A and B are shown apart, each in its own frame.
Chain A
Amino acid sequence: MKYIIAIVKPHKLDDVRNALTGVGVQGMTATEVKGFGRQKGQTEIYRGAEYAVSFLPKVKLEIAVDDAIADRVVDAIKESAHTGRIGDGKIFVLELQSALRIRTGETGSDAL
């Protein structure tokens, strides 16, 4: 099993969700987060004064999937979250040791 963490632009969230349900993802967790990468924040101007906004809003998705579809999930995120402009985000893939569905007690990929 793989645990996939994707940081994407907030306005891409619905596109990513639709793409992932299309490749068989059953669930995910989305969190509003702030951060910076190469984009390094931005400058806003109010009443002639510059304000450095060093952390930009992003959405963090966490998705646990079976090994069989992990590559398709990564591709689906890559394509649906892509704008080509700086700040599109990142995808991290981690090995997932175990999973358990609390309601039924199922474990492993049955729990996903």
Chain B
Amino acid sequence: MTAPLARRRWAPFLLAAAASVPAEALAQAQQAPTLSAGNTAWVLTATALVLFMTLPGLALFYGGLVRAQSVLSVLMQCSAIACLASVLWLAFVYSLAFGDGGPAVGYLGKAFLASVKADALAGDIPESVFFMFQMTFAIITPALICGAYPERMRFSAVVLFSALWLIVVYAPVAHWVWGGGWAQKLGVMDFAGGIVVHATAGVSALVLAWMLGPRAGFPGEVKPPHSPGMTMAGGAMLWVGWFGFNAGSALAANHAAGSAMVATHVSAAAAALTWMAIEWVRFGKPSLVGIVTGMVAGLATVTPGSGYIGPIGALVYGVLAGGVCFAAVVWVKKRLKVDDSLDVFGVHGVGGIMGTLLAAVFGSAALGGAGLSEGASMGSQLGVQALTLAATVAWSALATFAIGKVAAALTGGLRVPREQEADGLDLVTHGERGYSF
């Protein structure tokens, strides 16, 4: 059964392509899809849930993990990126990602939505709703990278880097996978953004953290998270919001949305328990930061497979997410010695990549999934998944390096001076303090 895949994101572009051929226009008009009120209502709701993931979910999740002197700077970075990505999305990034175009990137036909009529449909929902839903993904993806550079990156560099990254990395990869680009034509399976969101953000975070250098005192003398409670509150918002992220990516109120919600929840819970168990056995104490981190790992990992896999597949996803992401987080900090401070690569990058590969396995009908792409075997699907990931990882890494160099040159260096880092970015950069003692 390939129905969920076929429903996914393709519909608007096939319709748009058809509409551009005058000879077929009349025939299309006669059987033009009508607006589904049910689907529209669900995607509207899901859009709000996904925005809530970034503001305040991700902001609080990250904010609790830094020092008290820098908590506001993290909230500020997430807020500024959300606003910036929104304006750029309208201006031309939506068109780059989802406008008609070539295999690599969309053209500028939908810049400022100027050419999109008020009653235009994307599938059977308004294109305005599709635009908004996708915008919330374009907001959270660069915001995820905030976890790589807290407490030390210059704010002007954060703003410039995020803007360029959205244009150069997010837009093309979204086009490859969802917007009618080459990977979609190969039949890649990425239900809600294991490649487009988590692999891009995770790899870019690792490269940027490496370019930036570690926080003062890393690894031995870095201060512990200042508010695990804030992290838990933010993580819980991410969990709730993720229902919109994954189940909303069905772009319909249908069976795929329902099974995506089941998979999302099961994977998060199983990953959280796995992470907790590992800490309990290894360190003697199951920690709140640990269970919340495991939960987010489970959510990120299940994202690409969520609409394709069955509930038992989701359980396997979750257990693997907890174990593998835990190992990855430790490996990056202890072996690679890169201060990807809040573990964007270990949790999102590794989780998203693993989940994308696993989709080719647990998406198959034989293992309880909804079926692979038409005509694909498990092996050929795995090849498509791996090829798309390889291109995404390579492009994300190279482009991030180049963008980082440009941002550094234009803002006077990516890092704030050492003494400002020691004082904390809240007062130094934003003139505010998170707490008065």
Contacts and interface: CB of A to CB of B under 8 A. Distances in A.
B287 interface: yes
Contacts of B135: none
B220 A52 contact: yes
Nearest to A49: B333
Interface string B344-362: 0000000000000000000
A92 interface: no
A51 B285 contact: no
A44 B329 contact: no
B224 interface: yes
B288 to A, nearest CB: 10
B223 A47 contact: no
Nearest to B284: A45
A69 interface: no
Interface size class of A (residues with CB under 8 A): 10 to 19
Contacts of A44: 224
B343 interface: yes
A51 B293 contact: no
Interface string B171-204: 0000000000000000000000000000000000
Interface string B328-340: 0110011000000
Say what secondary structure dominates the interface of chain A.
strand
A44 B330 CA distance: 15
Contacts of B225: 46
A58 to B, nearest CB: 15
Nearest to A46: B289
Nearest to A54: B221
B349 to A, nearest CB: 15
Interface string B258-287: 000000000000000000000100110101
Interface string A41-83: 0001111111111000000000000000000000000000000
B165 interface: no
B216 to A, nearest CB: 14
A49 B331 CA distance: 10
Contacts of A47: 289-290, 293, 326, 329-330, 343
B219 interface: yes
Contact of B283 (A45, A51, A52, A53): A45
A48 B224 contact: no
Contacts of A46: 65, 224-225, 287, 289-290
12 contacts: A45-B283, A45-B287, A46-B290, A47-B289, A47-B290, A47-B293, A47-B329, A47-B343, A48-B329, A48-B334, A49-B334, A52-B220
Given A48-B326, A48-B330, A49-B334, 13 more contacts: A45-B279, A45-B287, A46-B225, A46-B289, A46-B290, A47-B290, A47-B326, A48-B334, A49-B219, A50-B220, A51-B223, A52-B220, A53-B224
